């Protein structure tokens, strides 16, 4: 019968506990993951908040740019409208020109954004300007705005691509109106030039990073003004950009993170299309600048969390090593406990159970048999003429003989509940739970034959070989039975087998009585 080892760390009927070292490692890993997760969530939340704030600021900036652009062109548009009505009503003959020139000059002085005002005849030649002297040259018949009015009867103000003034070479953005005669025929163009420097000053009034961009463009994508100013880009087309291709068709205003195809810088763009004029304004700040503060906070937080994780890791390393040492000590103690229990409950020579374990097991099986009404069987056996064997061959050979007999008993005890015992000296016992007398006899016969099959030479035996005698007994315990009586009856059966000639198994016969047998040469 196996010896149950009590495990104080495990409750019967429950799953095996998780080893403390693994539990500690999992806990430390979980803590580190939680800290990392919390750091990620916090950083992601602040990053999104910074981007959201930047989007709001970009939206407000583009709204201010759009309002400024609209006010600038509206003021020029109103001046052009009033002068166009005047010219169409009174004409621009020699008598009207001095007065018109003074009016042009006065209007330019009143509006700081204006470079100048010009009236061209149907051939594109200068008729009146806000400057004291008329320019000389081929005129403006080749200009985009002049050709537009030649080909379109609309009297709505037209904003054309940026050009260099042929008056003084200054970059201007032309806004113009068609002049008709009383019959509605084309008679010329009235144009006001808006200084590009005016927008440049306005753009510079806003705080942008070194990689920031602001621009004013036509609805068709033609670039009018830009910060930073790059003369080579003025007049270029932005029509293939994401803002014009995808964003504006979906919404007249908004924000988007876009990677520049020119310099590879990722920027947050805010854009807005004017309602009154075919103009688009946009501003952009680099993502790195927007998130600069976030990068600094992220670095600081990451360092702090890394130090905490390092501390937890070091603590965990020390703790796990202590746990490992404790487990090793516990393992050694449990091994020592099992060794002590083995020593306390088993015979050191044969490895069989000793009388202490036999008595404990017998109590358990008696109680079980009483509960289940099942029989308990017992075989008592000893080696025939063992004293003669020791005298003939010596005690070392005798010990070897005992171990061989013990091995036979182990082999014959097929069930876990069966218990082979060295009862004392050359005497052995086999406890057979849930076994009636017929089963006990069968096992006893198997043991006797197996010992004989060993062919252990014994000159002091009549057979010439080692034999055993066995006493068998079995009964169903009632709960009030004596263990001593149970053993005595099996032992008495053994006496009967001895008296009957040895090398046999006997069942107790109470009618015949129990004969006394000398223990000196059993």
Question: What is the set of active-site residues?
Answer: 426
In whole angstroms, what is the distance from residue 471 CA to residue 430 CA? 10
In whole angstroms, what is the distance from residue 129 CA to residue 111 CA? 15
Identify whether the C-beta of residue 490 lies closer than 8 Å to the C-beta of residue 506.
Answer: no
What is the signed CA dihedral for 15, 372, 356, 408, rounded to 10 degrees? -90
Pull the structure tokens for residue 398.
């005798």
Question: If you count them, how many residues does the chain have?
Answer: 522
Please spell the DSSP secondary structure of 330-397, one letter per residue.
HHHHHHHHHHHHHHHHB-TTT--B-HHHHHHHHHHHHHHHHHHT--EEEEEEEETTHHHHHHHH-HHH
Instruction: Note the Cα 361 to chain centre separation in Å.
Output: 54
Give every CB contact of residue 322 below 8 A, 6+ residues apart in sequence. Answer: none
Strands 427-433 and 419-424, sheet pairing = antiparallel
Identify whether the C-beta of residue 191 lies closer than 8 Å to the C-beta of residue 120.
Answer: yes
Q: Cis omega before residue 439 (within 30°)?
A: no
In degrees rounded to 5, what are phi and psi of residue 341? -65, -40
Identify whether the C-beta of residue 216 lies closer than 8 Å to the C-beta of residue 199.
Answer: yes
Measured CA to CA in angstroms, residue 121 lies from 158, 178, 192, 348, 371 at distances of 17, 10, 15, 131, 128
């Amino acid at each position: 019968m196996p010896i149950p080892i009590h495990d104080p760390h495990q409750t019967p009927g429950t799953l095996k506990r998780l080893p403390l070292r693994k539990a500690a490692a999992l806990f430390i890993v979980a803590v580190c993951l939680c800290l990392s997760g919390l750091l990620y969530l916090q950083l992601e939340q602040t990053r999104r908040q910074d981007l959201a704030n930047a989007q709001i600021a970009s939206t407000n900036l583009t709204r201010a740019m759009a309002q400024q652009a609209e006010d600038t062109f509206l003021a020029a548009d109103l001046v052009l409208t009033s002068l166009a009505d005047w010219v169409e009503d009174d004409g621009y003959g020699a008598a009207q020109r001095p007065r018109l020139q003074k009016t042009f000059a006065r209007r330019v002085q009143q509006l700081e954004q204006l470079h100048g005002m010009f009236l061209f005849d149907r051939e594109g030649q200068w008729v009146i300007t806000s400057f004291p002297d008329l320019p000389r040259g081929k005129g403006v018949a080749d200009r985009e705005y002049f050709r537009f009015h030649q080909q379109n009867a609309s009297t709505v103000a037209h904003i054309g691509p940026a050009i260099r003034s042929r008056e003084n070479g200054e970059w201007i953005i032309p806004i113009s109106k068609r002049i008709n005669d009383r019959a509605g025929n084309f008679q010329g163009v009235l144009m006001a030039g808006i200084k590009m420097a005016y927008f440049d000053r306005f753009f510079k009034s806003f705080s942008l990073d070194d990689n920031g961009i602001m621009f004013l463009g036509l609805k068709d994508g033609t670039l009018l003004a830009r910060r930073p100013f790059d003369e080579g880009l003025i007049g270029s087309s932005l029509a293939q950009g994401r803002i014009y291709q995808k964003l504006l068709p979906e919404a007249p205003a908004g924000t988007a993170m876009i990677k520049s195809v020119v310099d590879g810088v990722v920027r947050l763009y805010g854009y807005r299309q004017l309602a009154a004029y075919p103009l688009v304004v946009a501003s952009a700040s680099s993502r790195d600048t927007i998130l600069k503060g976030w990068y600094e906070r992220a670095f600081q937080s990451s360092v702090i969390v890394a130090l905490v994780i390092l501390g937890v890791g070091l603590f965990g390393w020390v703790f796990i090593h202590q746990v490992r040492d404790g487990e090793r000590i516990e393992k050694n103690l449990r091994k020592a406990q099992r060794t002590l229990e083995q020593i306390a409950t088993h015979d050191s020579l044969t490895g069989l159970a000793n009388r202490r374990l036999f008595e404990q097991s017998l109590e358990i099986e008696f109680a079980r048999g009483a509960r289940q009404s099942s029989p308990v069987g017992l075989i008592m056996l000893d080696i025939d003429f063992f004293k003669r064997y020791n005298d003939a061959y010596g005690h070392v050979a005798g010990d070897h003989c005992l171990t061989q007999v013990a091995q036979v008993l182990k082999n014959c005890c097929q069930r876990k509940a069966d218990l082979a015992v060295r009862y004392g000296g050359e005497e052995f016992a086999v406890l057979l739970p849930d076994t009636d007398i017929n089963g006990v006899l069968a096992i006893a016969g198997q043991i006797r034959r197996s010992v004989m099959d060993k062919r252990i030479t014994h000159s002091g035996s009549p057979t010439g070989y080692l034999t055993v005698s066995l006493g068998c007994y079995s009964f169903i315990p009632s709960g009030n039975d004596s263990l001593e009586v149970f053993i005595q009856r099996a032992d008495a059966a053994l006496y009967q087998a001895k008296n009957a000639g040895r090398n046999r198994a006997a069942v107790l016969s109470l009618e015949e009585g129990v004969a006394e047998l000398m223990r000196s040469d059993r």
